[in-house]
């Protein structure tokens, strides 16, 4: 960088510092090819949300100077709203549901845009439970989807230690014995016990922002989660 260029950079950094902004976190000073986008999406069957964090090799990045993120869900394009999470900027959209894959766009005023990043979302599903009366095990069932992502089942309640099962294969069923929920010598609870059963499917991906310019990347994690109540009656 020339001496003149160095002076301009230092003046810009000082100006940003005077405005209360950390120049290390200002997107105007970060090339698109160096950006790291982290996308998380969750549909819990009641509501849904998409969050995006922007980073770089020097740390968290705040979008400034007109730079902005957008998502297109179900054919509707929405701007992402800036908030704070543990003191760092986060960009979010709240939705009723995540019906399927969605698109992410990063639009920049003075650098290259990123358009049409596909975020893969597992299909919505429902889960049903039977059993947990007398000696019957807890039997769970849902529509299997071998391509729908990683499946994790968790069971929690006041009368048991939380139990978590990560399935190697999505068969659409899982049977949990009463001994697994509350192993001997504790045995089953003396009174009916309310349990909460959660089933989740998650798809994670990691790709380069530009195939011709390695460095920047986007990581995604999209989850469909369903929770039901079960009563254990010995």
Give me the CATH number covering residue 56.
2.60.40.10
**CA 106, CA 70: separation in Å to the nearest integer?**
7
Q: Which domain holds residue 34?
A: 21-121
Residue position matching structure tokens 């405005």: 19
- Grade residue 135 by pLDDT with cuts at 50, 70 and 90: confident
Do 30 and 115 reside in the same domain of the chain?
yes
Q: Which residues contact 134 (CB under 8 A, 6 or more apart)?
A: 233, 234
231 in Cβ contact with 193 (< 8 Å) = yes
Buried b (16+ CB within 10 A) or exposed e, 54-74: bbbeeebbbbbeebbbbbebe
Query: pLDDT (tens digit, 9 = 90+) per residue, 75-95?
Result: 999 999 999 998 899 999 999
Quote the pLDDT of residue 4: 43
Do 88 and 161 reside in the same domain of the chain?
no
Closest CA to 213 of 114, 76, 144: 114
- Six token digits for residue 43: 């549909």
Task: Tell me what the mean pLDDT of segment 51-56 comes to.
Answer: 96
Closest CA to 122 of 17, 48, 37: 48
Quote the pLDDT of residue 25: 83
What distance lies between CA 107 and its chain's CA centroid? 22
- Six token digits for residue 161: 């230690």
Q: Is the pLDDT of residue 58 over 90?
A: no
Query: pLDDT (tens digit, 9 = 90+) per residue, 98-132?
Result: 999 999 999 999 999 999 999 999 999 999 999 99
Residue 189, domain CATH: 2.60.40
Share of the chain above pLDDT 70, in %: 89
- Grade residue 224 by pLDDT with cuts at 50, 70 and 90: very high
Domain count, the chain: 2
Do 89 and 150 reside in the same domain of the chain?
no
Residue 209 lies in a domain: no
Residue 10 lies in a domain: no
Quote the pLDDT of residue 160: 92
Residue at a domain's end among 121, 140, 158: 121
Residue 141 lies in a domain: yes
Quote the pLDDT of residue 146: 83
Quote the pLDDT of residue 13: 41
Do 58 and 111 reside in the same domain of the chain?
yes
Stated as kind and residue range, the H or E segment containing 14 is helix 3-18
Residue at a domain's end among 93, 121, 149: 121
pTM comes to: 0.86
Q: How many CB atoms sit inside 10 A of residue 151's CB?
A: 23
Quote the pLDDT of residue 154: 97
Closest CA to 210 of 129, 79, 113: 113
């Amino acid at each position: 960088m020339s001496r003149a260029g160095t002076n301009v950079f230092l003046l810009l950094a000082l100006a940003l510092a005077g405005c209360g902004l950390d120049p290390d976190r200002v997107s105007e000073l970060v090339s698109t090819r160096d950006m790291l986008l982290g996308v998380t999406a969750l549909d819990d069957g009641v509501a849904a949300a998409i969050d995006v964090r922007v980073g770089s090799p020097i740390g968290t990045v705040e979008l400034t100077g007109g730079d902005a993120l957008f998502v297109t869900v179900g054919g509707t394009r929405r701007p992402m709203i800036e908030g704070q999470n543990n003191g760092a900027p986060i960009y979010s959209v709240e939705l009723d549901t995540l019906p399927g894959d969605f698109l992410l766009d990063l639009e920049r005023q003075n650098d290259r845009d990123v358009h049409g990043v596909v975020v893969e979302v597992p299909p919505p599903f429902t889960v049903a439970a039977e059993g947990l009366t007398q000696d019957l095990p807890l039997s769970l069932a849902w529509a299997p989807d071998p391509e729908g992502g990683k499946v994790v089942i968790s069971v929690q309640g006041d009368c048991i230690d939380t139990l978590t099962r990560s399935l190697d294969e999505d068969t659409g069923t899982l049977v949990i014995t009463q001994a697994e929920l509350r192993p001997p010598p504790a045995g089953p609870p003396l009174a009916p016990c309310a349990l909460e059963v959660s089933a989740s499917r998650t798809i994670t991906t990691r790709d380069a922002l530009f195939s011709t310019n390695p460095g920047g990347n986007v990581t995604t994690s999209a989850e469909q989660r369903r929770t039901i109540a079960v009563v254990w009656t010995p």
